[in-house]
Structure 1
Amino acid sequence: MAELQCQAAAGTCAATSPDSEGPVAIIRQPGGQLEGYDCGATPGQPGPAVVAAPPVPTFGQIQQAFRELPFCKPSPSMQPVGGKTVVNLATYYEAGWPDGACLSPGETSAKVQLLSWSVEFTVAARDYRFSYGDGASSEWTTSTGGGYPDGDITHAYRDTGSVDVRVDARLTGSYRVDGGAWQDIETVADLQDEPAATYEVVEAKNRLQADPTG
């Protein structure tokens, strides 16, 4: 945080006192609070040019701005396809993210203005939890699942009926100020009200067929 304040001070002195001497001196009160910075003496003018420190956001405000980003919400897809599965058959689940104006894992936000700082965020998935619609759910996992035969998120239903399947997601990421180095955001956005996919669980029916060979 102190490094970013120094960068802001240097930029302000360059804009307001381009002919002043350097280096920039950071002035702090005994408690460590930033009071201002000394841009140094300007030739032909008495005394140093002292500039008031620009307001800067706290780390907590940066984290809150991340949690308020317009995130996308994941939805589940299942196999067997066609909206139906069979009792006691392993059903495979996978989390997917929509395309659009919202932010998905792997994407970078537009710049957000927080007081005197311009902040960007990258988004990463922390973990997922699959709710199968019959009262059971997976543990939190970093896996997005997958289809047969390699998918590692599976569930077998005991009873027939209609189930609403959901996938919950928690997101984390990183941030940078004014195009600087990326830093860990150290917080989690727990998404809410993810969309459900309705699935029908049916019984398998046996049917005798004549032997085509006679």
Structure 2
Amino acid sequence: MNVINVLYADPTTQTLETELLGVPVQVRAIPIQYHWDLGDGNTITTKKPGKPYPSEQVTATYTQEGWYDITLTTTFAGQFSVDGGEWQDIDGTIEIASDPVPLFSKSLESRLVNPDIPVDEEGDPWIPARTPDAEGHRDPAATHREL
């Protein structure tokens, strides 16, 4: 526990091309904010998408061992362009939540192993199946951070 988990999202602008009454129209969704729900009561909101490891731009730690579901909700601003014209802002925003990503937070501790038994390369014997007993607990000191 207390191992740093690096969080990041793909900040790519999404563009949709369509036709309206025979006129080409482009609509684009631009990510402007990211909200991570860490599954233990802690949340993070930021305008930064984060970056893959070894960056620690957006990180989280868990205080207790167990299974947690991380959900990312991305807020998008919109723009449109008609027939190749200037991009125009669309009033308001839209929020899209990701499917939950399961993560097992485990404590780092030494364990004795039998060197005569080969290591199972296909799985980690110290990550339990997801059962009610293996679920992570709410962090009693949970907070919301804004980065």
TM-score, normalising length from structure 1?
Answer: 0.47
Task: Check whether the contact 2:6–2:55 (CA below 8 A) recurs between aligned residues.
Answer: no
Amino acid at match of 2:15: T
| Local SS of the residue matching 1:191 | strand
The counterpart of 2:78, out of the listed 173, 184, 189, is 173
Higher strand share: 2
The counterpart of 2:110, out of the listed 206, 209, 212, is 206
Aligned to 2:119: none
The root-mean-square deviation of aligned C-alpha atoms, in Å, is 2.3
Could you say which structure has the greater relative contact order, defined with CA pairs below 8 angstroms and 6 or more residues apart?
2
Contiguous gaps of at least 5 residues in structure 1 = 1-86, 98-104, 209-214
CA distance in 1, matches of 2:22, 2:82: 10
Any residues of structure 2 matched to 1:115-134 within 5 Å, and which? 118-134=24-40
TM-score, normalising length from structure 2?
Answer: 0.65
Aligned to 1:96: 10
Aligned to 1:64: none
Which protein is bigger by CA-based radius of gyration?
1
Shift of 1:200: 0.7
The counterpart of 1:135, out of the listed 41, 61, 69, is 41
Paired-residue identity, %: 25
Shift of 1:151: 2.6
Aligned to 1:163: 68
Task: Check whether the contact 2:67–2:104 (CA below 8 A) recurs between aligned residues.
Answer: yes
Higher helix share: 1
Q: Work out the number of aligned pairs and report it.
A: 112
